[in-house]
Every structure is written in structure tokens, then in C-alpha cells.
Amino acid sequence: MEKRTTDFGFQDVPIEEKAGRVADVFHSVARRYDVMNDLMSMGIHRLWKRVTLERSGVRRGNSVLDIAGGTGDLTKKFASRVGPTGRVVLADINASMLNVGRDKLIDEGIGHQVEYVQANAEALPFPDNTFDCITIAFGLRNVTDKDKALRSMTRVLKPGGRLLVLEFSKPTNALFEKVYDQYSFQVLPRIGKLVANDADSYRYLAESIRMHPDQETLKAMMEAAGLDRVEYTNMTAGVVALHRGVKL
């Protein structure tokens, strides 16, 4: 029987190997992740996350799941919004990223309402209809089976709950796309080498962005997973898109 494969950047790898390879990437970059985010995006990632926060509709007392939450940028903001009666779960498949996020938030005095769970987005360890809002920011492209993950997220949303997917996408301007490609494949690995001593991981990140579904494809995938009123907002000329869907 032919072995089933999936993408790891521009490589074809056996499906069962992808999660481990992605894990190695994030074990490598975890400690320098925040610094690299600021350098790679020139700080614009903070604006993208602010838009996500505003579109989430999260309010006091809500229950929020931040998947692939990494170093906790969104979790910190959500904790402030839900208040002491709410609940925020910072989930990440990668133990190194989760530990960095937990240590960072504890050092910043983030409250008791935050929980930390190592979890695979494809098989979330929560009961049906648990969360008012789920976010996954810059994590879906690293998931092996994206359709399965979207179904898993939809399952644990409450009826009326919102899923927000913030992810790199396809630029809407051809000229800008050429400049963006040059930056991604020529400059980004060099920054990774200088700052994190790891060019290969950042080369993978650039490749994984190109392999991720475009805006309309991801919208259709979210609808197929059972979400309604799916829409997306392009930011920075489509370099990033925020998709939002509601569970009926």
C-alpha cells in the first residue's frame, strides 16, 4: 500500500512524521519566539492580534480557548476581558512553547482563570459545547489534518460560539506578493540565523505559509466543518487573513 504523505513546508513527508517535525521547529525557536515575531512582522503582528481580539466578541464571564497560543499574547488579553468569573485555556501541542507561555504569563501576574493544556487541535480534550470563543493564531498551517482540526474546534464550541482563525494567507496584490516572497525566502532565514541561530526553522515557516489554503479555500473548509456565517478580513494586503465563523 502506498504510504500517505503530507506537506512539511515544500517537502512531502509521511503523515505520521509531520507533527514531530513541526514540534522540532518550535522546540528550537520557543525561547526567541516573541523577539522573532516582532522582527519578522516589524511589530505589525500586534495589530493583527488586536483586530482578532475586537472581532472575538469576548466579554466578562466567557469561556475562551486559545489554540496554538504559544507565548500567550492573546491569552493575556482574553484573561483581562473575561475577568475573574471567566475562563481562558492556553493550549499548545508543543511543550516548549506552552512552558514559555505559562512562565511569561505567571511572571506578569495573569490571574487564576488561565489554564494551560498540552493538546492536539485535531483531538481537543474537552467536552462538546464548552467554549464561547476559540482562537487559533498562526497555528492552523502547522496542523497535519486541518479539516479534522476544524471539526474538533467546532465540536467544543457552544451553540452561538465563534471560531476565529488568524493566519498568513495569499497577498491580493501581485507586485506586493513578489516583494513578500523575496523577504520570506531571502531575508527571513537570515534573521532567523542571526537572532535564533536557526535559519532552517524560519525557512520552514516561510514554506508552510505558501502551502496553507488561500482565503476562499479556508472559508469553504470552515463551512464544511459545520460553521455558519463564515467571513474573512484581509490585513496587510492579504499577507494575513482573519476568518470568523459561528456555530449554530
Q: Supply the DSSP string of 132-165, one letter for each residue.
A: EEEEEES-GGG-S-HHHHHHHHHHHEEEEEEEEE
CATH of the domain at 65: 3.40.50.150
**115 pLDDT exceeds 80?**
yes
The cell 513578489 sits on which residue? 178
Rounded (10°) angle between helices 33-41 and 45-56: 100
Q: Among 90, 112, 109, which residue's Cα sits nearest to residue 101?
A: 90
- Domain of residue 47: give its range: 42-169+215-247
pLDDT attached to residue 192: 78
- Is the pLDDT at 229 greater than 50? The verdict is yes
Q: Does 63 map to a domain? A: yes
Predicted pLDDT of residue 3: 52
Reply yes or no on whether the pLDDT at 1 is more than 50: no
Q: Cell numbers of 151, please?
A: 471539526
Whether residue 184 lies inside any domain: the answer is no
Confirm or deny that 71 is annotated as ligand binding: yes
In the prediction, which pLDDT does 141 show? 92
Percentage of the chain beyond pLDDT 90 is 65
Tens of pLDDT, residues 38-83:
767 778 999 999 999 999 999 999 999 999 998 899 999 999 999 9
Domain count, the chain: 1
Task: Please indicate, yes or no, if residue 230 is contained in any of the structural domains.
Answer: yes
DSSP 3-state assignment of 186? helix
Least confident of 35-44, 197-206, 232-241: 35-44
How far is it, in rounded angstroms, from Cα 244 to Cα 237? 18
User: Residue 224: pLDDT band by 50, 70, 90 thresholds?
Assistant: very high
Beta-sheet strand order (sheet of 131-137): 114-118, 87-92, 63-67, 131-137, 157-168, 240-247, 227-235
Average pLDDT, the chain: 90
Overall average pLDDT of the 170-180 stretch: 92
Q: Residue 226 burial by CB count (10 A; 0-12/13-18/19+): exposed, middle or buried?
A: middle
What is the residue type of 29?
A: V
**Which residue has better confidence, 11 or 144?**
144
206 marked as binding residue: no
Q: Which three cell numbers stand for residue 4?
A: 500517505
The predicted model gives 236-246 an average pLDDT of 96
Query: Is 120 annotated as belonging to a binding site?
Result: yes
Residue 181 belongs to some domain of the structure: no
Which residue is listed with cell 480557548? 65
Q: Is 62 known to sit in a ligand binding site?
A: no
* Residue-wise pLDDT tens digits, 82-92: 999 999 999 99
Say if 52 falls within a structural domain: yes
Q: Is residue 130 part of a domain?
A: yes
pTM above 0.85, yes or no: yes
